[in-house]
Amino acid sequence: MLATQLEAAVDRGTFDTAFSALYRDVPRAKARWTTLLQTFRAQYGDREAVLLSVPGRTEISGNHTDHNKGCVLAASVDVDIIAVAAKTEGSEVRVKSEGRLEDVIDCAATDPEKVRKGCSAALITGVCDAFRREGLSYGGFVACTTSHVLPGSGLSSSAAFEVLCGKILSVLYNGDTVPAMKLAQAGQYAENVFFGKPCGLMDQAACACGGFLYIDFADPATPVTEQLSFDPEKEGYTFCIVNTGGSHADLTGDYASIPAEMRSVAAFLGKQVLRECDEEDFVSRLSDVRTAVGDRAALRALHFFAENRRVENQRRALKAGDGEEFFRLVTESGLSSFRFLQNVYAPHNPQEQGISLALAVSERFGAVCRVHGGGFAGTVQAYVPTETAEAYREAMDGIFGKGACMLLRVRPVGATALSPDGV
Label residues 254-263 b or e (16+ Cβ within 10 Å = b).
bbebbbebbb
What was the pLDDT predicted at 249? 61
Residue 75 in this model has a pLDDT that exceeds 90: yes
Residue 296 in this model has a pLDDT that exceeds 90: yes
| pLDDT tens string 229-277 | 888 999 999 999 999 987 656 787 898 899 999 999 999 999 999 999 9
CA distance 142 to 91: 11
CA distance 301 to 303: 5
Q: What is the mean predicted confidence (pLDDT) over 196-203?
A: 83
What was the pLDDT predicted at 248? 59
| pLDDT tens string 332-344 | 999 999 999 999 9
What was the pLDDT predicted at 220? 85
| pLDDT tens string 200-233 | 788 999 999 999 999 999 998 889 999 998 889 9
| pLDDT tens string 380-392 | 999 999 999 999 9
Q: What is the mean predicted confidence (pLDDT) over 183-193?
A: 95
CA distance 327 to 332: 9
| pLDDT tens string 18-32 | 999 999 999 999 999
- Rg of the chain over Cα atoms, rounded to whole angstroms, equals 21
Mean residue pLDDT of the chain comes to 94
| pLDDT tens string 149-164 | 877 667 889 999 999 9
Residue 61 in this model has a pLDDT that exceeds 90: yes
What was the pLDDT predicted at 276? 97
Stretch among 78-87, 106-115, 152-161 having the lowest mean pLDDT? 152-161
What was the pLDDT predicted at 199? 78
What was the pLDDT predicted at 202? 86
CA distance 400 to 380: 12
What was the pLDDT predicted at 247? 63
How large is the angle between the packed helices 3-11 and 26-44, nearest 10 degrees? 160
**What is the share, in percent, of the chain residues with pLDDT greater than 90?**
85
Residue 328 in this model has a pLDDT that exceeds 90: yes
| pLDDT tens string 362-376 | 999 999 999 998 889
Contacts of 113-119 with CB under 8 Å at 24 or more apart are: 115/194, 117/194, 117/195, 117/196, 118/195, 118/196, 119/195
Q: pLDDT-derived band of residue 34, with 50, 70 and 90 as boundaries?
A: very high
**CA-based end-to-end distance of the chain:** 16
Q: What is the sign, positive or negative, of the torsion defined by CA atoms of 40, 41, 47, 53?
A: positive
